[in-house]
Amino acid sequence: MQGKRIDKILVIIVARIGDTLLATPVIRAFRDNYPNARITVLAHPKRLEVLQHLPEIDVLQSITKHSAWLRGRLPQKKYDLCLLYSRDKALLNYALRVSRTVRMFGATSAIVSVVLQIVSPPTEPVHAVDERLMLLPEGLKVSNYRLGYHVTQQEKDWASDWIQHQLEGKPRILVGIQAMSFPTKSYRDWPAEHFATLMNHLAEHFEGIRFILLGDKACREKLSGLLDRPDTCNSCGQLSLRQSAALMNALDLYIGVDTGPTHIAGALEVPMVAIYHCQHPGALLKPLSRDHLQIIEHSRHVDDCQRSSPLSQVPVEEVYQACLTLLENTQPMEATRR
């Protein structure tokens, strides 16, 4: 791409919440290197929310593999460069119709044509952000690996009002619990009874601590044993994605398993403890370029790991100590576990 003028850039990322967020450092790198370019992002209709209000994006629209074949039929090229994070044929054909150059991951590392450039995926494990950055043209500088998510002032005000109403005032310490991943990857869930024990330890150590259960409707059934706690408020299945993110932004501590909301927390400033299964190590998925972070890895090495390897092997004490590290500046009760 050296020597070619880049005025209009397209990024296509049709993926889940976490994978969509993992591409945001790519978009930021484009803005840093081409400050005057017009950047368009096409994402799955159900994932547009996570990209809203990002200052790096000029145009944000939805696309699916089913709608792609109808689009871009006019003869002129709308974009100078497109990064395609998909191998779907319909999306590729659309990208080739609208962009002078398309870069995507493929089986060979070669320029197939001036239009289509194939980039080989990494042969060794690399962090998920670094992998997505590999699609950038050579020579572009990357200075910030932080995931991107923007909470508006209106959303911050809403979260403050919600907390005041639901908890009858702002608690001294507010902790959010994301205990579940999505159903097809439930092996990444830490047991509800472990969370219950952890919450007991924290309640014994810190006066005035309150907990909010985060997640969708399914978490209400799995976490039913926690719903009757007087120090716990349930938001499962009651909030939109952006409302949940605004609420997370107001927490004193976020504790979560490896799932989409944990990626959102990684883009925010909230102190966080993230628990990872050995099939998806935190070393390859953890938030980058951010402070106040504690990563809990499964005790099984990735080479000795199956989906059946229970995340219950992560001890409560290890997660508890990580929480204490992040809350160490908070004055504990006089009578504590220590």
Q: Is the same domain home to 274 and 322?
A: yes
Highest mean pLDDT among 74-88, 112-126, 255-269, 289-303: 255-269
Q: Is the same domain home to 173 and 128?
A: no
Q: Is the same domain home to 316 and 259?
A: yes
Q: Is the same domain home to 279 and 216?
A: yes
Q: Per the domain annotation, does 13 fall within a domain?
A: yes
Q: Per the domain annotation, does 128 fall within a domain?
A: yes
d(CA 283, CA 268): 19
d(CA 197, CA 102): 51
Of 9-23, 29-43, 71-85, 235-249, the poorest mean pLDDT is in: 71-85
Q: What is the pLDDT of residues 43-66, one digit of tens each?
A: 999 999 999 999 999 999 999 988
Q: Per the domain annotation, does 140 fall within a domain?
A: no
Q: Is the same domain home to 93 and 17?
A: yes
Higher pLDDT, 12 or 186: 12
Q: Per the domain annotation, does 96 fall within a domain?
A: yes
Find how far residue 115's CA is from the centre of its chain: 31
Q: Is the same domain home to 285 and 192?
A: yes
Q: Is the same domain home to 128 and 223?
A: no
Q: Per the domain annotation, does 92 fall within a domain?
A: yes
Q: Count the neighbouring beta carbons within 10 Å of the beta carbon of residue 113.
A: 11
Q: Per the domain annotation, does 141 fall within a domain?
A: no
d(CA 259, CA 318): 20
Closest CA to 290 of 185, 158, 145: 145
CATH number at residue 238: 3.40.50.2000
Q: Is the same domain home to 178 and 274?
A: yes
DSSP 8-class letter at 330: S
pTM for the model stands at 0.91
- What is the number of structural domains in the chain? 2
d(CA 320, CA 99): 51
Q: Per the domain annotation, does 39 fall within a domain?
A: yes
Q: Is the same domain home to 166 and 294?
A: yes
Closest CA to 82 of 142, 29, 8, 5: 8
Query: pLDDT band at 330, cuts 50/70/90?
Result: low
Q: Per the domain annotation, does 337 fall within a domain?
A: no
Q: Is the same domain home to 157 and 126?
A: no
Q: Is the same domain home to 307 and 199?
A: yes
Q: What is the pLDDT of residues 1-26, one digit of tens each?
A: 555 789 999 999 999 999 999 999 99
Quote the domain boundaries for residue 44.
8-133
Q: Is the same domain home to 40 and 166?
A: no
d(CA 214, CA 233): 9
